[in-house]
Amino acid sequence: MKLNRPMISLIAAACLLQAGIADACTRVVYLGTNDQIITARSMDWKVDVGTNLWVMPRGIQRNGEAGPNSIEWTAKYGSVIATGYDVSTTDGMNEAGLVANILWLVESEYPEYDGKTPGLAISLWAQWVLDNFATVNEAVAALEQEPFTLVTDSVPGEDRLATLHLSISDSTGDSAIVEYIDGKQVIHHSRDYQVMTNSPIFDKQLALNEYWKEIGGTVMLPGTNRAADRFARASFYVNAIPKTEDAVETLASVFGVIRNASVPFGITTPDQPNISSTRWRTVADHKRKLYFFESALTPNTFWVDLKTLDFAEGAKVMKLDLGPNQIHTFSGVANDQFKETEPFRFLGL
């Protein structure tokens, strides 16, 4: 359906009203020259999300942690992940260059789970993708078959359910956004879907972005911390930054975009109590297989080089302890700072 300007304006107004009710995060995909594809995301949360970095080798046997009828699989690809509370995968890149990001979406509504179909705890949603697929096309084809029922649970330490949506991107620049609306899986699959934030649902975010495109980013862009405003800013800037073949300049530009969509640490907005500070940012270079991490509370950025990690079957699970509020400081390539550690247990039923 083609939206005319009055319709776009009405949808935009509705989206602006809804956008303040969600916790914050932003994800962008940069499509550059010379096969440079970069995915960046911010993690915005009210409290320390207990994030550490982990190296997950191939060959790990997993189950969906959703009870006796959980889905089971063996990891086909190794990955580097950022955890939430060390009980879930919130972000990461696998050795094939596939990236998965989990963001908050308050409108999410998952199907009721009766235990009769294969189940997957939401804590493993991103890990299932990273373990099994090299491309977005492969992941989408599998997800369309609905091989599991996604099962949510309470956020650790809180009395609310985790309501999340998933983004996937690969080294070709392809993207997919996966949401659960009214209990049904909805997949948006296109290279054009470079940006994802939070509320409202993705269809409405696209409509709102059309509204801002008509105004033009060099004329005016929305400047608040609300999800819909961050979506508009990120959409404009990720396509306005230069398409250079210099990887260093490309990374600098993409870091600038994700920082622009971040929320200042410790900000207080009484009229928008659900706006949360940016805790950390990741930037994944699909071509060079580099995974950058930047904490809001440390002065520098470091990275992990996936090309030199041992992902072989039987290799050790490794952990980089980032400390409370991710305050431990690392510099440059941090591969040798990882320590052999027992695997964590994914949160489940």
pLDDT (tens digit per residue) in 228-242: 888 888 999 999 999
CB atoms within 10 A of CB 288: 16
- Alpha-carbon distance of 331 to 333, in angstroms, equals 7
- Alpha-carbon distance of 123 to 337, in angstroms, equals 26
- The sign one gets for the Cα dihedral 208, 213, 216, 217 is positive
- The pLDDT score that the predictor gives to residue 218 is 60
Is a pLDDT exceeding 80 seen at residue 213?
Answer: no
Q: Regarding beta strands 37-44 and 99-104, do their DSSP bridges make them parallel or antiparallel, or are they unpaired?
A: unpaired
Residue 252 belongs to what H/E stretch?
A: helix 247-260
Reduce the DSSP state of residue 50 to 3 states and report it. Answer: coil
Higher pLDDT, 156 or 71: 71
Please, which residues have CB within 8 angstroms of residue 220's CB and are 6 or more apart in sequence? Answer: none
Q: What is the largest CA-CA distance in the chain?
A: 59
Is a pLDDT exceeding 90 seen at residue 338?
Answer: yes
Which of 266-275, 289-298, 328-337 is predicted with the least confidence, judged by mean pLDDT?
A: 266-275
Reduce the DSSP state of residue 94 to 3 states and report it. Answer: strand
Residue 339 belongs to what H/E stretch?
A: strand 339-340
Active-site residue flag, 25? yes
Rg of the Cα atoms in the chain: 19
Per residue in 247-263, pLDDT (tens digit) is: 999 999 999 999 998 88
CA distances from 150 to 106, 119, 324 (A): 16, 6, 30
Q: Please give the model's pTM, rounded to 2 decimal places.
A: 0.89
Please, which residues have CB within 8 angstroms of residue 236's CB and are 6 or more apart in sequence? Answer: 212, 217, 221
- Mean pLDDT for the stretch of residues 285-301: 96
Backbone angles phi, psi at 182, to 5 degrees: 55, 35
- The pLDDT score that the predictor gives to residue 81 is 98
Point out the catalytic residue in the list 8, 11, 15, 25.
25
What's CA 1's distance to the chain center, in Å? 29
Four-CA torsion 63, 320, 28, 132, nearest 10 degrees: -30
Residue 95 tokens, joined = 């050795």
